[in-house]
Amino acid sequence: MLSQSQLRAVLRRGHIVEGIFLVIYVYSGFHLNVIWTNIARFVVLPLIVLSGVWMWQQGRIARWMRPTASLTSTAQQERPV
């Protein structure tokens, strides 16, 4: 498993590569080709949004994905018999 800093570095690099793809797409004339347009629209843009939100809210997402075994064991102990 990747540590939080390694995950952030991977996300940052991917975000930059995706942004470079969009710049090339817009300024090179690839936007005239339907295949490149669909790749940009349905693959690259969602990846940019997801990686950006993940980097922005990385701590909150990590807490959300953390196992909550301690919460379930506490709730079971407090249940009346």
The string of pLDDT tens digits covering residues 41-75 is 999 999 999 999 988 998 888 888 888 765 555 55
Rounded CA separation 8/17 (Å): 14
Q: Find tokens 């018999």 and name the residue.
A: 81
The string of pLDDT tens digits covering residues 7-53 is 889 999 999 999 999 999 999 988 889 999 999 999 999 999 999 99
**Confidence tier at 1 by pLDDT (50, 70, 90):** confident
Question: Does pTM top 0.85 for this prediction?
Answer: no
Token pair of 14, please? 């991917």
Rounded CA separation 16/50 (Å): 13
**Confidence tier at 81 by pLDDT (50, 70, 90):** low
Q: Residues 6 or more apart from 11 whose CB is under 8 A from it?
A: 51, 54, 55, 58
